[in-house]
Structure 1
Amino acid sequence: MPAAISPATPCSSTAVATSTDRRGLLTSATDVARELDPDRSVWAELRRLIPPLYVPIAMMTLGVGIILPIVPLYLEDTGVGLTAVGVVMGAFGVGAALVGIPASSFAERRTNDHLLLIAIAAAATSVVLFGLTELAVLLVLARFVAGSGFGAVGQSRQLFITRGVPIRFRGRVNSGMGGTHRLALVIGPVLGGAVAEAVSFRAAFVLAGAVMAVGAVFWILPGGREDQRIVGAAPPVAVRASLRRHRGRVARGGVGPMLIQAGREGRYVIIPLVADRLGLSVAEIGGLLAVGTVIDFVVFPISGVIMDRFGRLYSIVPAFTVMAIGLVMLGLADDATDVAIASVLIGAGNGVTSGAVLTLGADLAPEGEEGPYLAGFTLVSNLGLFLGPLVVGAVADVAGLDVSAFVLGGILLAGVAWIALVIGETGRRPPNPTPDEARQARSA
């Protein structure tokens, strides 16, 4: 079994990597960070992050939520098969995965603010264009650009958190970002389904693009901009060198989250298709997605508290297992009530892991090389955004939607096992190097 990955030194505690208490035991990096700044309030930190973090994330995710229930149905309406639906849906994930390294290089050369602004513009424009065409090539291209924009927004904000938020707050800050994401996904599907049914699919896509564009208001809000270059990182060639140096950490750290993301993203395809098979309307499907997301939203605050106080695995292992059970139940669904129950389980499991993948990436990022590492981590983990929809479509075409749901649940459980056994706990241990990094340090 590969060695578990130890978390990197947190950016907020560079002066003290580990310390010894009165009993001579090593205290965790989390405890050290608390000692360095014991009086800083998490609520003050969350308020500070509203303009630069939560506003852009809320608007971007609300836009995604508006089109969430209608994209698979819009594609089916154009006459494409389920495999093609999976490919077009998965193009979003490919864009989100591949944008990581270019986004990191751009942020190093310019600023995180410019990266965020351009990413919002790209995503908003491509979502509108998606609703104006039925050509398969353009649909794939528009989804790819939308995924690239959404991925770059996430990359920008994850780097912002990793560099500027103390490790003892990261779980709750990331959980808060996940909660913002979830609230938008409660409102978005209901709004999108209602607009698509009352007006048209095209109107829903235009609305989604306009909402995303509002996220650019961070540029003029007080405290919304960093107004500085990202310090400490090197030019693009150093990004590649850093990725080579930490390739083992990137690979082992990214595989589990990739499988998790596949399960998470795949549910957005499988739930509407199962509901459509059972005869529900577009508005009803939007409401059904919102039901699961309401549960998701209600329980999300638990995630950050569990991760920060007990450890990351205490949130990840049980919650994603519940989500996998929900996917299996979805495959067994015979009516709308069954789908609703499965959606509640899926939402509950996903909610208690709010911010988990982001927190893992931040914990594992090597100090001083956070940008390149997060680019690599995002590249690997976001491949799941493509894998999930592709698996749903391909398996459904061959064996049916029920088998597709079972396979998706199995992928999710495989991701849980990888995180628990290969990555291990990242939140409350001293920052030791991985074996590969230790060998490189000795040979340096």
Structure 2
Amino acid sequence: MVYLPTILFAVGEGAVIPLIPVIAASMGADVAFAALVASALVIGQLCGNLPAGWAVGRIGERFTMVIAGVIAILAAVGMVLAPSLGVLTASVFLLGMCAAAFGLARHAFMTTRVPVAFRARSLSLLGGSFRLGIFIGPFIAAGLLQLFGNEQAAIWFFLGCLVAMVLLVLFGPDPEKTIPAITQVRYAEDSGEPVSGSIPTIERAGIFQTMWRQRAVLGRLGLAAASLSAVRSARQVVLPLWGLSLGLDATTIAIVVGVSGAIDFALFYASGQVMDRFGRLWAAMPAMVLMGAGFLAMSFTHDLDASVLWFGLFAGVLGVGNGLSSGILLTLGADVAPKREPAAFLGSWRTLTDAGGAIAPLLVAAITAVSALPFAAAAMGVISLLGAAGFLRWIPRFVPRARPETENE
């Protein structure tokens, strides 16, 4: 009940994401507009985090997931029946908002119910569930294309996953009721003595009030986390562009990127083990330094005789670094979230990290346009190393190594 709904959503979404530009192109969009339609998913996810934080804080994780699933079904139907590119773009944007709500609801649930002792491993498994969908979803889409010869078959598959997910969440055992919250506020037992003074109540802070109260951690540790998200996103853009710039064919590029993704997926649980056993910094620093060094070193290999070999090597290095970072953003967000009502804070946290992921491809495109792709890769390497310095400075301050599990804030 905790991981299966996530896997259903992620596998279906992973099957649809690669085909969004193809569907847009089949409806008459040029390359630039097809890219705009595909980017609507990321923009929708970015815009959906704050409303999702509000919804989870008011109606709970379970009903937020059900509502997000129902709206995602409507969005998928809109993609199938879209009469124009405008409707298709709006449907993709709405799907991104639903993905944000679903992800935040599960993140908030894990934050309030998983003990600190194995929080990182559980959240790495949650991150691995999303990675599983992105990893095997395209293969499912390819099989459906071969079987039916129509891109819409993948959307129908996504609809089936969404219906199964909604039914599972709606009628299955509710984890919110079966798993007690470990951060609930504790009150003193009734002693029978008269009470003087007022009875304490919990103030429900709004989204923007929470952002203001938590501005210190968001403006420091949050920016370091955004840099990690930016480097992850840049990896997905730089590697295919690098292969194209070397003159490689699409099959070779797909194999290199696929091997890098397989390495990434294989290491997702190792990150949680490291964070729980040795501390968050021991996973964040190697991941950021590896990706930063990988981008910087790769930027010097473009014109070498063995440039293709170096491309494959550094694609693997970036895959290792990204795999070691699995679950870090989820875990750090859970660590620093207010214990009574984490949803509003997590909405702000995820908005900040998603913004880093959304800006990175634009930055790569801009630097490549005014100079060259190696300079863009080097710039992402510098951002990664700056993010590593930020983690080194701010994780010890905001995430102490030893935290009592009975702590209430």
The partner residue of 1:111 within 51, 60, 83 is 60
2:337 aligns with: 365
Shift of 1:215: 2.8
Deviations 1:52-110 (A, max 9, x none): 2x11221222233324544456667765456x666544433332233223212222322
1:200 Cα deviation after fit: 4.0
The alignment yields a C-alpha RMSD, in angstroms, of 3.6
Q: CA deviation at 1:120?
A: 2.7
Q: Equivalent residue for 2:292?
A: 324
Structure 1 residue 225 displacement after superposition: 4.3
| Closer/same/farther in 2, CA of residues 401 and 87 from structure 1, 3 Å limit | farther
Q: Given that residues 218 and 224 in structure 1 are in contact (C-alpha distance below 8 angstroms), is that contact kept between their aligned partners in structure 2?
A: no
8 Å Cα contact 1:62/1:188 also seen in 2:
yes
Contact 1:72-1:272 within 8 A present in 2 as well: no
In structure 2, the partner of 1:255 is 223
Q: Does the aligned pair in 2 maintain the 1:113–1:227 contact within 8 Å?
A: no
- Scaled by the length of structure 1, the TM-score of the pair is 0.72
- Cα deviation, 1:215-235, whole Å, max 9, x if unaligned, reads 324325643542599977978
How far residue 381 of structure 1 moved from its aligned partner, in angstroms, is 1.7
Correspondence for 1:345: 317
Q: How far 1:131 moved relative to its partner?
A: 6.6
Superposition pairs of residues 21-60 of structure 1, within 5 angstroms: 51-52=1-2, 54-60=3-9
Within 1, Cα distance between the matches of 2:206 and 2:4? Answer: 32
1:354 partnered with 2:334: no
Aligned twin of 2:195:
none
Tell me the residue number matched to 2:278: 310
Shift of 1:309: 1.2
Identity of aligned residues (%): 27
1:159 to 91, 108, 113: 108
1:242 aligned to 2:191?
no
Who is 1:293 aligned against? 261
Compare CA radii of gyration and give the structure with the larger one: 2
Q: 1:246 corresponds to which letter in structure 2?
A: Q
Aligned to 2:190: none
Deviation for aligned residue 1:372: 1.9
Query: Which residue does the alignment assign to 1:280?
Result: 249
8 A Cα contact 1:299 1:352, kept in partner: yes
Contact 1:90 1:390 in 2 (8 A): no
Aligned residue for 1:168?
A: 117
* Per-residue Cα deviation, 1:272-309 (whole angstroms, up to 9, x for no partner): 4444564534x765554432222112222221111011
Residue in 1 aligned with 2:192? none
User: What residue identity is the alignment partner of 1:428?
Assistant: R
Q: SS where residue 267 of structure 2 aligns?
A: helix
Q: Is the Cα contact below 8 Å between 1:125 and 1:209 reproduced in 2?
A: no
One-letter identity of the residue aligned with 2:284:
I
Which of 152, 157, 171 is residue 207 of structure 1 equivalent to? 157
Equivalent residues of 1:101, 1:375 under 8 A apart: yes
Q: Residues 22 and 34 of structure 2 are in contact (CA less than 8 Å); yes or no, is this contact kept in structure 1?
A: no
- Quick one: distance in 2 between partners of 1:192 and 1:333? 33
Letter of the aligned partner of 1:219 in structure 2?
V
Go from structure 1 to structure 2 and tell me whether the alpha carbon gap of 1:374 and 1:408 turns closer, same or farther (over 3 Å shift).
same
Residue segments in structure 1 that go unaligned for 5+ positions in a row: 1-50, 432-440
Q: 1:206 to 1:410 in 2, by over 3 A?
A: farther
| Count of aligned positions | 379
Structure 1 pair 392–123 and aligned structure 2 pair: CA distance change class (3 A): farther
Question: What do the CA deviations read for 1:186-241 (whole angstroms, capped 9, x no partner)?
Answer: 31233334545772444334434443443324325643542599977978764443
Say if 1:272 and 1:125 are closer, same or farther in 2 by CA, change over 3 A: farther
Residue 185, structure 1, aligned to residue 154, structure 2: no
**Residue of structure 1 equivalent to 2:378:** 406
Match in the other structure for 2:46: 97
For 1:12-27, list aligned pairs within 5 A. none
Distance 2:154 2:370 in 1: 31
The alpha carbon displacement at 1:400 in A equals 4.6
Pairing 1:391–2:366 present: no
Structure 1 contact 189–290 (Cα < 8 Å) conserved: no
Q: Structure 1 CA distance, aligned partners of 2:43 and 2:324? A: 26
TM-score, normalization by structure 2: 0.78
- Which residue does 1:148 correspond to in 2? 97
Counterpart CA distance in 1 for 2:276 and 2:222 is 21
